């Protein structure tokens, strides 16, 4: 309800400070090391933190999407096609392309406006499969079917390998921080308050004058844009290629895992979650195969859900408070 | 039969009951009355095992039952007719009744009880093949009571049996409650309609904001100034008292 | 000739066979949802676990697939019981997102466990071969594969068993009661936790049968269960969550529609049928068909 959302905002540290902290930390790391692999992993974390942020924003409005890969993939395809077929510079298509998943998000939001919980989960889950089908079969002439498309690079050609890695790292960081600030201020605005009210009780929200329908659709649309942005960014920087595999179940599940691990319904949670889970994942891959690592990750998350239902972010806050750095972050 | 002592119940961090104590003796009809939100239903639901007590004791037939699961309490012979009837909507009337009849050990007595229940509520006999969802509100309440009786319980608990029903149906239901009392049934009744409740009950407890504030024999309660004024809307018998609920 | 009655019958039979897979999945899902108010998103993965179990028993131990099916059903049934006991039960009464998380996380766990266990040994796709793979009944108008006839018979025998269990036994009455009103069921002395466990076990067992059936008529991988499960979701939404009748009729009907859609419109439409149907219903009567009991 309203008071919870308001008090939550009050007891968390100001987002601008956190944003500056993230930038400072990332810059410091860059000053210390140029290890290519590490930079790539962190770029991945930045991009997928945007993706998780998108899922978390939609969840903030009480809608648990289980088909978020729809937006991720459509954003990637739209931007890559705009760049390839219409000759748009990737720096532009990166922001125009996600309008497609934003529209699709509005459509799905409208379609599912009365569905909740398991129903919404089942329907959104199904959307990913139908989107894949459409992309491969109905639009196969455009998308090159299962083989997928090469993606034009975002950075100018001719950069050194290290230069490109640093460039991608900085672009990912910048967009992640921008997304973070946007979502944080959105969550504190009247709109965010409306989302939170709907999340807590749709009926009460409706009775107290919140236009549930409008805000739910809006949340899906905004989520669609951000997820699409992550998909486009990923395509133009890291993978440099997109294929229908992006519409798999796994890519719909990851943002949920990241958000839950970090802490649902806070703008910091998805970032923290993506970082922790992803680093853990990379560490595990050194010892175990992919299958075992994935199972271990999921089990680890189950433990987090069981014992820290609020995710890791409150733990971090408590840790900071315990050190005494910030008396304001009491729990 | 039932002795509740210092019962405390919490919903999350909100406390609903603060040390409630009362007892129901064998063969007695006892009413708990009080305004909406006083915690009346909470008491019944906690005894029935639907809610867990945060403190206090619930002794039923000299056995501590606080914290048992609902099905365990039911098997000991406590039957709750919950608020809002809670019938099995897609099952026929007779299926609803037979499902409760499982609680009786003796198979032969199930048939017997069924016939007695049909005698008590002839309407249910007429509709025994009909799905419970198609019954009227009053008929559903009868079914809910009949279903509780099918278990042949040691203690029958009724949660607001008159709510939302027409006066005619309410009369019929309270007639049955009175008749059950006359047959020696032990009944714990929760009701907002103070007049009705205290007419069938031998004793009553008044609950406000999770605490018992008044207890006594039914006729005495009916004459108590607080009850007359706050619940029955009559002028207090004695000298005018200022504060109410 | 496209409208040759023999060909149409053939398509119908195919639709009924694949519809049996959907029916079994949907019935299990709706049974579990009815009792527990939980959607098992990993139902398709339980299905493939069943397929691989039957496959393994046949491939490694030489067990006849039509006997292996029953072992597989029991095995996956036990797995379902474990999932309910160790997974869903501790989460009951906590935030809904936890149940959704567990349900979806099970997909990853089962898929990867299956892939880890089987792909190294059997390459990417497996198929269960019965001794009757190439034998057909010549029924004049159509040739009915032995396997299809056995599969249809097996499915209907199991469904009949389920019907008898649910509607002719005391236990079935308890189960239906819990599904219709959990609170009232507990007040009638029914141990609803036990019913949860049983419903998950039965649902998982049905999924194993669906998977084995699927594995006899199709090559499969650990990832093959997803699409059938999504179709089963569509079926139970259309048929009404918690309704067994809706799941049975919906599943079969869906299989037949899919069969004819594939035949007349081409393979690309096979998997789209579900969603087009689902979208239509969502658009036309968003509440009418959804009945959820608190």
Q: Is A145 part of any domain?
A: yes
Shared-domain flag, residues B162 and B53: yes
pLDDT for residue A140 is more than 90: no
Shared-domain flag, residues B109 and B56: no
Q: Which residues on chain A are in Cβ contact (under 8 Å) with C237? A: 119, 122-123
Which tens digit of pLDDT belongs to each residue from C6-64? 888 888 998 999 999 999 999 999 999 999 999 999 999 999 999 999 999 998 898 89
- As for the ipTM of the complex, it is 0.88
- pLDDT score recorded for residue C234: 85
Q: Is A121 part of any domain?
A: yes
Coil, strand or helix at B161: coil
pLDDT band per the 50, 70, 90 thresholds, residue A275: very high
Shortest CB distance from C189 goes to which of B74, B89, B90? B74
Contact B33, B162 (CB under 8 A): no
Shared-domain flag, residues B3 and B66: yes
Shared-domain flag, residues B91 and B128: yes
Q: Which residues on chain C are in Cβ contact (under 8 Å) with A121? A: 39, 41, 100, 104
**Cα separation of A164 and A117, whole Å?**
43
Over residues C67-93, the mean pLDDT reads 93
Q: Is A282 part of any domain?
A: no
- Tell me how many helices (H) and strands (E) chain C has: 12, 2
pLDDT band per the 50, 70, 90 thresholds, residue C274: low
Shared-domain flag, residues B3 and B106: no
**Cα separation of A46 and A308, whole Å?**
24
Q: Is B185 part of any domain?
A: yes
Shortest CB distance from A291 goes to which of C112, C274, C283? C112
**Cα separation of A273 and A267, whole Å?**
11
- pLDDT score recorded for residue A324: 63
Contact B40, B65 (CB under 8 A): no
Across B67-95, b (16+ Cβ under 10 Å) vs e yields ebebbebbbbbbbbbbbebbbbbbbbbbb
More confident residue, B237 or B218: B218
Contact A185, A55 (CB under 8 A): no
**Cα separation of C145 and C217, whole Å?**
11
Q: How many domains does chain B have?
A: 2
**Cα separation of B238 and B228, whole Å?**
10
Which tens digit of pLDDT belongs to each residue from C200-235? 999 999 999 999 999 999 899 998 998 899 889 888
**Cα separation of A146 and A159, whole Å?**
30
**Cα separation of C153 and C238, whole Å?**
26
Across A144-158, b (16+ Cβ under 10 Å) vs e yields eeeebbebbbbbeee
Q: Is B20 part of any domain?
A: yes
User: Rounded mean pLDDT of chain B?
Assistant: 87
Residues in chain B: 245
| CATH classification of the domain holding B207 | 3.40.50.300
pLDDT for residue A38 is more than 70: yes
Contact criterion met (CB < 8 Å) for A305 and C98: yes
Interface with C, mutate which of B102, B140, B153 (most C CBs under 10 A): B102
Q: Is A258 part of any domain?
A: no
pLDDT band per the 50, 70, 90 thresholds, residue C291: very low
pLDDT band per the 50, 70, 90 thresholds, residue A9: very low
Backbone angles phi, psi at A37, to 5 degrees: -65, -45
pLDDT band per the 50, 70, 90 thresholds, residue C283: low
More confident residue, A13 or A5: A13
- pLDDT score recorded for residue C282: 67
Q: Is B65 part of any domain?
A: yes
pLDDT for residue C195 is more than 70: yes
- pLDDT score recorded for residue A2: 40
Contact C11, C143 (CB under 8 A): no
Q: Which residues on chain C are in Cβ contact (under 8 Å) with A301? A: 101, 105
pLDDT for residue C75 is more than 50: yes
- pLDDT score recorded for residue C119: 80
What is the domain extent for residue B120? 84-153
Two structure tokens written together for C162:
């389920």
A292 - beta bridge partners?
none
Phi-psi region of B210 (alpha: psi -120 to 50; beta: other; left: phi over 0): left
Shared-domain flag, residues B88 and B71: no
Q: How many domains does chain A have?
A: 1
Q: Is B171 part of any domain?
A: no
Which tens digit of pLDDT belongs to each residue from B159-201? 998 888 888 888 888 999 999 988 889 999 998 888 888 888 9
pLDDT for residue B239 is more than 50: no
Backbone angles phi, psi at C137, to 5 degrees: -85, 130
With residue C99 as reference, give the H or E element that holds it.
helix C96-122
pLDDT for residue A3 is more than 50: no
What is the domain extent for residue A239? 2-249
Backbone angles phi, psi at C129, to 5 degrees: -105, 125
Shared-domain flag, residues B200 and B223: yes
Q: Is A264 part of any domain?
A: no
A and C: number of Cβ contacts within 8 A: 112
Q: Is A23 part of any domain?
A: yes
Over residues A121-138, the mean pLDDT reads 86
Q: Is A275 part of any domain?
A: no
Shared-domain flag, residues B54 and B162: yes
Shared-domain flag, residues B92 and B137: yes
B58 - beta bridge partners?
B4
**What percent of chain B clears pLDDT 90, i.e. is strictly above it?**
45
**What percent of chain C clears pLDDT 70, i.e. is strictly above it?**
93
- pLDDT score recorded for residue B195: 86
Q: Is B114 part of any domain?
A: yes
- Angle C84-C18-C83 (CA atoms, 0-180°, nearest 5)? 10
Shared-domain flag, residues B63 and B98: no
Which tens digit of pLDDT belongs to each residue from A162-204? 888 999 999 999 999 999 999 999 998 888 888 888 888 888 8
Shared-domain flag, residues B91 and B117: yes
* DSSP single-letter state for residue C142: -
pLDDT for residue A97 is more than 50: yes
Q: Which residues on chain B are in Cβ contact (under 8 Å) with C187? A: 48, 50, 70, 74, 79-80, 82, 86
Over residues A315-325, the mean pLDDT reads 78
CB atoms within 10 A of CB B65: 19
Q: Is B243 part of any domain?
A: no
Over residues B100-110, the mean pLDDT reads 84
Rounded (10°) angle between helices C170-180 and C5-36? 80
Coil, strand or helix at A77: helix
Interface with A, mutate which of C94, C120, C230, C262 (most A CBs under 10 A): C230
Tell me the shortest Cα–Cα distance from C153 to chain B, in angstroms.
30
B11 - beta bridge partners?
B14
Nearest to B130 by CA among B85, B87, B94, B84: B94
Shared-domain flag, residues B43 and B103: no
- pLDDT score recorded for residue B225: 83
**What percent of chain B clears pLDDT 70, i.e. is strictly above it?**
96
- Angle C186-C192-C196 (CA atoms, 0-180°, nearest 5)? 160
């Amino acid at each position: 309800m309203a008071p919870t959302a308001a008090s939550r905002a009050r007891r968390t540290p100001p987002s601008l400070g956190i944003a500056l902290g993230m930038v400072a930390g990332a810059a410091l790391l860059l000053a210390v090391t140029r290890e290519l692999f590490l930079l790539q992993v962190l770029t991945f974390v930045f991009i997928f933190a945007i993706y998780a942020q998108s899922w978390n924003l939609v969840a903030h409005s009480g809608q648990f999407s289980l088909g978020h890969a729809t937006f991720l993939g459509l954003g990637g395809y739209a931007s890559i096609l705009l760049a390839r077929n219409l000759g748009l510079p990737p720096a532009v298509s990166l922001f125009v392309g996600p309008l497609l998943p934003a529209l699709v998000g509005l459509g799905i939001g409208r379609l599912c406006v009365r569905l909740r919980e398991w129903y919404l989960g089942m329907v959104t889950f199904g959307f990913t499969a139908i989107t894949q089908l459409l992309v491969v079969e109905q639009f196969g002439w455009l998308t090159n079917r299962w083989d997928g498309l090469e993606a034009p690079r975002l950075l100018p050609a001719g950069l050194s390998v290290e230069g490109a890695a640093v460039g991608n790292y900085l672009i990912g960081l910048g967009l992640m921080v921008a997304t973070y600030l946007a979502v944080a201020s959105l969550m504190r605005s009247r709109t965010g308050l409306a989302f939170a009210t709907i999340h807590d009780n749709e009926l009460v929200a409706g009775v107290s004058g919140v236009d549930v329908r409008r805000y739910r659709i809006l949340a899906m649309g905004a989520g669609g844009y951000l997820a699409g942005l992550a998909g486009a960014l990923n395509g133009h920087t890291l993978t440099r290629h997109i294929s229908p595999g992006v519409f798999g179940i796994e890519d719909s599940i990851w943002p949920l895992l990241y958000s839950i691990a970090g802490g649902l319904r806070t703008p910091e949670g998805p970032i923290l979650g993506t970082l922790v889970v992803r680093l853990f994942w990379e560490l595990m891959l050194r010892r175990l195969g992919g299958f075992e690592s994935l199972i271990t990750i999921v089990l680890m998350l189950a433990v987090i859900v069981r014992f820290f239902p609020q995710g890791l972010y409150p733990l971090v806050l408590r840790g900071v408070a315990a050190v005494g750095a910030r008396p304001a972050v009491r729990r | 039969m039932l002795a509740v002592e210092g019962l405390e119940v919490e919903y999350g961090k909100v406390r609903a009951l603060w040390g409630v104590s009362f007892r129901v003796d064998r063969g007695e009809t006892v009413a708990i009355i009080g305004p909406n939100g006083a915690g009346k239903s909470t008491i019944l639901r906690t005894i029935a095992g639907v809610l867990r007590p945060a403190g206090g004791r619930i002794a039923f037939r000299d056995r501590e039952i606080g914290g048992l699961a609902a099905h365990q309490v039911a098997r000991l012979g406590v039957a709750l007719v919950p608020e809002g009837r809670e019938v099995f909507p897609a099952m026929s009337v007779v299926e609803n009744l037979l499902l409760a009849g499982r609680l009786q050990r003796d198979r032969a007595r199930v048939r017997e009880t069924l016939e007695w229940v049909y005698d008590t509520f002839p309407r249910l006999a007429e509709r025994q093949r009909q799905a419970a969802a198609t019954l009227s509100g009053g008929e559903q309440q009868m079914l809910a009571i009949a279903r509780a009786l099918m278990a042949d319980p040691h203690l029958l608990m009724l949660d607001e049996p008159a709510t939302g029903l027409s006066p005619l149906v309410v009369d019929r239901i309270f007639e049955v409650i009175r008749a059950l009392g006359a047959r020696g049934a032990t009944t714990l009744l929760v009701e907002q309609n103070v007049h009705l409740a205290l007419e069938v009950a031998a004793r009553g407890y008044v609950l406000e904001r999770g605490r018992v504030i008044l207890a006594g024999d039914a006729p005495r309660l009916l004459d108590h100034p607080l009850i007359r004024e706050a619940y029955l809307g009559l002028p207090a018998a004695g000298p005018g008292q200022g504060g109410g609920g | 000739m496209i409208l040759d009655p023999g060909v149409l019958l053939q398509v119908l039979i195919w639709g009924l066979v694949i519809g049996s897979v959907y029916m079994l999945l949907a019935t299990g899902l709706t049974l579990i949802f009815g009792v527990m108010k939980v959607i098992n998103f990993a139902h398709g993965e339980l299905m493939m676990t069943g397929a691989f179990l039957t496959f393994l028993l046949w491939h490694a131990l030489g067990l006849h697939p039509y006997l292996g099916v029953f072992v597989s059903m029991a095995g996956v049934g036990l797995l379902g019981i474990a999932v309910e006991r160790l997974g869903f039960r501790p989460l009951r009464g906590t935030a809904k997102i936890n149940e959704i998380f567990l349900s979806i996380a099970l997909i990853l766990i089962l898929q990867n466990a299956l892939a880890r266990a089987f792909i190294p040994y059997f390459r990417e796709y497996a198929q269960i071969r019965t001794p009757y793979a190439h034998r057909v009944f010549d029924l004049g108008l159509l040739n009915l594969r032995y396997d299809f006839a056995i599969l249809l018979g097996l499915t209907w025998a199991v469904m009949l068993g389920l019907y008898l269990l649910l509607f002719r036994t005391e236990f079935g009455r308890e189960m239906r009661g819990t599904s219709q009103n959990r609170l009232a069921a507990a007040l009638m002395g029914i141990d609803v936790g036990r019913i949860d466990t049983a419903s998950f076990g039965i649902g998982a067992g049905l999924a194993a049968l669906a998977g084995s059936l699927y594995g006899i008529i199709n090559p499969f991988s650990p990832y093959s269960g997803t699409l059938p499960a999504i179709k089963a979701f569509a079926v139970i939404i259309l048929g009404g969550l918690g309704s067994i009748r809706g799941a049975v009729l919906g599943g079969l009907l869906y299989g037949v529609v899919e069969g004819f859609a594939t035949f007349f419109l081409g393979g690309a439409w096979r998997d789209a049928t579900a969603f087009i149907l689902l979208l239509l219903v969502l658009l036309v009567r968003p509440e009418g068909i959804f009945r959820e009991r608190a």
